Amino acid sequence: MSNYSNNIEPRNAEASYTPSAEDLRIFIRVATLGSFTRAAEQLQLPRATVSTSILRLEKRLGTRLLQRTTRRVGLTGDGQAFLERCTSVLDGLDELGSFFRRPDGPLEGRLRVGMPLGMAAGPLMARLPEFLAHHPALRVEISSSDRRADMIVEGLDCVIRAGAVVDESLACRPLGLLRLGNFASAGYLHVHGRPDRPEDLAHHWLVDYRPNPSDGPVPFEYQDAGTGRVIRVPMRSRVTVDNSAAYDAACRAGLGLIQVPLATAARAPGLVGVLPDCPPPPMPVNLLFPHHRHPPRRVRVFADWAAGVLNL
């Protein structure tokens, strides 16, 4: 970044101009989304306010940060350099803003959290009122989807994900392990019979669960009791779903076996456990957030609370 100062301080830049934190946040959102309209929607601001903020930045810095076309908004070279600095600057401002606050004081502002549908409809939502009672000045926005969220594009502070962490650009706070079981509907078992051994799976159906478009078919997985080794059994499937609600509904409709958390099955009467001696391997649950040297306190406090609620 040796040419950063030369790029950002041309001849007509206003002397000793310091951008506001709000202008920086607006710029980051427009740059990452590639759209003034989507940035305004996420920030809950008028589009004119977003446009004015960007124009003010460009005028006072004396350089064009964004290249506008009729189809999209992209970064210029100066804009890319400025974006890289903006993120670290805002991280520092957040840290400074909380420097003199009591470490056990109430949280303030907004916390945007992404989580799977099952968790959003489960104990986290049920016990959220007690978390907010401790932090009445905090506003929580929850985005629930089984797909992997792009935290930057969607403007999330953190996400809770079940399964292996595949994005190395995110920092990870392990929350625990989720115990899973094998289930079918009574109607399915009446028609197809009950599998008693893994060898019986060749004559059964599995509901195919693919929350992300790039995912391939997921086999039936179980952990060998003797060796602890995870064994994967490819199975036939008649239906593919991309979210947990449809996954549960497909099982209830008699379309195949599913593998879901034991806690989820306990809240869903009508599912019948099968192959209890072949449990799926436990699924790691993690809270992920953009790499910060010191993540915002609201994220740290929420992570501690979520770990206690999930009690994994």
List per-block mean pLDDT (blocks of 10 residues) for the chain, which spans 312 residues.
40 59 85 86 88 90 85 84 75 56 68 87 87 90 83 78 77 88 96 95 95 84 89 94 92 96 82 94 88 73 88 68
Radius of gyration of the chain (CA): 24
Q: Which of 11, 31, 33 is nearest to 87 (CA)?
A: 31
CA 269 – CA 259 distance, rounded (Å): 15
- Chosen domain end from 97, 123, 151: 97
- Asked whether residue 104 is domain-assigned, the answer is no
89 & 129 share domain? no
- Chosen domain end from 97, 124, 141: 97
167 & 297 share domain? yes
The domain of 196 spans 180-281
148 & 123 share domain? yes
- Asked whether residue 85 is domain-assigned, the answer is yes
Number of domains in the chain: 3
194 & 255 share domain? yes
DSSP letters, the chain, are: -TTHHHHH--TTSPTT----HHHHHHHHHHHHHT-HHHHHHHHT--HHHHHHHHHHHHHHHTS--EEE-SS-EEE-HHHHHHHHHHHHHHHHHHHHHTTTS-TTSPP-EEEEEEE-HHHHTTHHHHTHHHHHHH-TTEEEEEEE-SSPP-HHHHT-SEEEEES----TTEEEEEEEEE-EEEEEEHHHHHHH----SGGGGGGSBB-EE-SSTT--PPPEEEE-TTT--EEEE--B-S-EESSHHHHHHHHHTTS-BEEEEHHHHHTSTTEEEE-TTSPPPPEEEEEEEE--SS--HHHHHHHHHHHHHH--
- Asked whether residue 102 is domain-assigned, the answer is no
- Asked whether residue 241 is domain-assigned, the answer is yes
CA 27 – CA 34 distance, rounded (Å): 10
CATH code, 89 = 1.10.10.10
213 & 261 share domain? yes
Residue 86's pLDDT is 77
215 & 240 share domain? yes
- Asked whether residue 286 is domain-assigned, the answer is no
Residue 1's pLDDT is 36
CATH code, 162 = 3.40.190.10
Residue 255's pLDDT is 97
CA 23 – CA 44 distance, rounded (Å): 14
- Asked whether residue 131 is domain-assigned, the answer is yes
Residue 10's pLDDT is 46
Residue 7's pLDDT is 43
Instruction: Answer for the pair 170, 289: CB distance below 8 angstroms, yes or no.
Output: yes
158 & 191 share domain? no
- Asked whether residue 156 is domain-assigned, the answer is yes
214 & 164 share domain? no
116 & 253 share domain? no
- Asked whether residue 103 is domain-assigned, the answer is no
25 & 50 share domain? yes
Residue 230's pLDDT is 94
28 & 58 share domain? yes
- Chosen domain end from 47, 73, 97: 97
67 & 204 share domain? no
Residue 154's pLDDT is 72
